[in-house]
Amino acid sequence: MIPFRDLCAEWLKDWSGAMDVYMTPSCTSALEAAALILNVKPGDEVIMPSWTHPSTANAFALRGAVPVFVDVDPATLNLNPDLLKAALTSKTRGIVPIHYAGVIADMESIVGFAEWHGLWVMEDAAQALLSSGGGGQLAPACSFGDLAAISFHDTKNVGCGEGGALFVNNSKYRERAAMVVECGTDRRLPGRVGNYRWQTLGGSHIMGEPCAALLWNRLQTAKWSTGRRLEAWHAAKAELESYGFEDEHATEPGNGHIFWVMDELAPGASHFEPLHLSPAGVRYGRVASPMPVTERAGRELRRLPL
């Protein structure tokens, strides 16, 4: 019998086009594994938006790296690529864009900048299952970066209680990824079926079968349920526009994960506290640009129910 985690990984490979996919206990686990795979070291700098979950920064701060925070685009609340140059130093090693609300960041610009400056790109696609976009060329989330991570937490469009996946798109990292996810051993490398050796730092980054079984079941209806969420997203947009909210709500649906408005008086849940304003963000990070959009989102953004 094929393990459910392998069935889920193949489903995600077919969707994303990734070379390898590893099912992980959480998206946080996938991000932390990615930091090891990328050989992040103390003193390295990693550019990312401040408008994100702490797990994005934690994964790299745990390796001794410095999260370098930049502001976001007001239309999508994704990393603003125009601010990358100002954040760049001799210590910069990579960029971690997120796809907020399931809307793909401007990956064409971000990847182009990274390639020009010899940086890696790690996509935090936690919210972006079945999203596509990226700039001039339409492509699925998790297909742009050297590595990518996605979440299957119960708050996501498709969940299994807690779970995630790590995507490998660059052959440079394939062998190291196979070892990092298995406690740093070579048991997943070709020819290693019995005895195996500890080769590098790693962790237990493999999803358990009960979660994988539940996720496999839910992936069977993922495209249908995403379509239903998009219907709800567009209905909410039309309703709000009739009340004059044309310029004050999300401009793209992505996968319909979140419908947000910028109105602190609107009923609904807020979301992130900007990382650069949080105690740990001040302690471990560095701010590379003024943050007017991020700080406004922290004050005013409200997520409306779909």
What pLDDT digit, counting tens, does each position of 140-192 carry? 999 999 999 999 999 999 999 999 999 999 999 999 999 999 999 998 888 76
Q: What is the spatial distance between Cα 226 and Cα 84, in angstroms, rounded to a whole number?
A: 32
DSSP 187: T
Q: Where do the structural domains in the chain lie, given as residue ranges?
A: 4-221
pLDDT of residue 305: 85
Per the DSSP assignment, residues forming a β-bridge with 260 are 303
pLDDT of residue 1: 84
User: Which percentage of the chain shows pLDDT scores above 70?
Assistant: 96
At residue 256, the 3 state secondary structure works out as coil
Stated as kind and residue range, the H or E segment containing 28 is helix 27-37
Q: What is the spatial distance between Cα 12 and Cα 140, in angstroms, rounded to a whole number?
A: 11
Question: Is residue 32's pLDDT more than 60?
Answer: yes
For the domain spanning 4-221, the CATH number is 3.40.640.10
Among candidate residues 78, 172, 82, 80, the one with its CA nearest the CA of residue 126: 78
pLDDT of residue 240: 84
Rounded to two decimals, what is the model's pTM? 0.95
Q: Which residue has the higher pLDDT, 129 or 192?
A: 129
At residue 47, the 3 state secondary structure works out as strand
E strands, the chain, in order: 20-24, 45-49, 66-70, 92-95, 120-124, 132-133, 139-140, 147-151, 164-168, 259-262, 286-287, 301-304
Question: Mean per-residue pLDDT for 11-24?
Answer: 98
Structure tokens at 40: 């992040």
